[in-house]
């Protein structure tokens, strides 16, 4: 198994990269958080199968238990089975919602060093990304899950996810001038491991064993449905906790439906809280809950270039 040393000022660690998926490989659909709607999952299954992948639904992928996709026990059992099964090469979460934090402490991750799997998801799945990074240094993919809706994830989203799963090429994400957060920018160029994901889940992980050491890292943040004052509160919490003290840079993804009745915009909040860190900041990246969401690897060396308007990350996968 090949290992890759991380850039930046993190302690000397190795990123564990799973093999890129190939036609004929089996991927398991799991629901570690909220309950999944079968109709969009069926569309996501068709998409994955069109790439030559064999899709295996976990036994409880459509279970429901209030706002959870089944009890903690069955959600953990499905996730553990997917990570342990040598015949499963990728683990694709159906959706986020809420619930991943309730089960990550029970994950058995020892086998991932010998048999790493591609793990894909976003939103609440940030809790799983963080846990797999801490315990196994596993590179994962922050990207669309199997619950697929063309109204939000068009052809460009599908191409991005396929490339992240089935190639070993670097991933380049260009800032979108049409995104409101495109105005959030502090000039410069930064390199370091790309870590982060959903801002609410990052803040909810402060004080837990899974919150990552962000010294020397490029922090990726995105969110949905959070009023500007709540985003302000979350960024202040990270700053007061010391989490932003030694960052290399900040990659700002989509902040979707983050409005309220106050005359302060999400762009103003992000510019105020991130602009004084003294590091490069690039907004407008189509990563998150918005239209045209793209997939990006986490836990891999990356470069943030505000002059070019790009975030470039090494792949999460190994080639042949």
Residues recognised as catalytic? 123, 222, 289
Q: Largest alpha-carbon pair distance within the chain?
A: 54
> What does the buried/exposed string (b/e) look like for 121-147 if buried means 16 or more CB atoms within 10 Å of the residue's CB?
bbbbbbbbbbbbbbbbbbbbbbbbbbb
- Of 203, 197, 213, whose CA–CA distance to 295 is shortest? 197
Helix axes 228-240, 266-275, angle to 10 degrees: 10
DSSP 211: S
Q: How far is CA 187 from CA 118, 150, 197, 250, in A?
A: 33, 34, 22, 11
- Count of helices and strands (H, E) across the chain: 8, 16
Contact indicator for 293, 153 with CB cutoff of 8 Å = yes
DSSP string, 38-87: HHHHHHHHHHHHHTTPEEEE-TTTT--BTTBSS-HHHHHHHHHHHHH-TT
Contact indicator for 140, 300 with CB cutoff of 8 Å = no
CA 282, CA 220: separation in Å to the nearest integer? 10
CA 64, CA 71: separation in Å to the nearest integer? 8
Burial class, 112, CB count within 10 angstroms (exposed 0-12 / middle 13-18 / buried 19+): buried
CA 180, CA 175: separation in Å to the nearest integer? 11
Q: How many CA atoms lie within 13 A of 280 on its CB side?
A: 22
């Amino acid at each position: 198994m090949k290992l890759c040393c991380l850039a930046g000022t993190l302690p000397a660690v190795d990123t564990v990269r799973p093999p890129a998926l190939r036609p004929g490989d089996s991927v398991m659909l799991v629901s570690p958080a909220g309950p999944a709607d079968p109709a969009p999952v069926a569309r996501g299954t068709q998409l994955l199968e069109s790439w030559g992948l064999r899709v295996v639904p976990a036994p409880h992928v459509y279970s429901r238990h209030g706002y959870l996709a089944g009890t903690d026990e069955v959600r953990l059992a499905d996730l553990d089975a997917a990570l342990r099964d040598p015949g499963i090469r990728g683990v694709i979460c159906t959706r986020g919602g809420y619930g991943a934090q309730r089960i990550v402490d029970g994950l058995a991750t020892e086998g991932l060093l010998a048999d790493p799997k591609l793990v894909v998801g976003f939103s609440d799945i940030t809790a799983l990304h963080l846990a797999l990074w801490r315990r196994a240094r596993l590179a994962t993919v922050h990207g669309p899950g199997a619950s697929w809706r063309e109204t939000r994830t068009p052809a460009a989203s599908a191409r991005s996810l396929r490339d992240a799963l089935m190639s070993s090429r670097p991933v380049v994400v260009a800032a979108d001038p049409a995104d409101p957060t495109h105005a959030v920018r502090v000039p410069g160029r930064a390199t370091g491991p790309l870590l982060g994901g959903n801002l609410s889940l990052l803040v909810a992980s402060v004080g837990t064993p899974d919150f990552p050491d962000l010294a020397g890292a490029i922090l990726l943040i995105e969110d949905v449905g959070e009023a500007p004052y709540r985003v302000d509160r979350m960024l202040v919490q990270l700053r007061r906790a010391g989490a932003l003290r030694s960052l290399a840079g900040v990659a700002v993804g989509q902040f979707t439906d983050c409005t309220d009745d106050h005359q302060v915009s999400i762009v103003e909040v992000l510019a105020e809280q991130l602009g004084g860190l003294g590091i490069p900041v690039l907004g407008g990246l189509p990563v998150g809950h918005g239209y045209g969401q793209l997939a990006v690897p986490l836990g891999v060396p990356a470069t943030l270039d505000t002059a070019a308007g790009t975030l470039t990350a090494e792949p999460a996968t190994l080639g042949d």
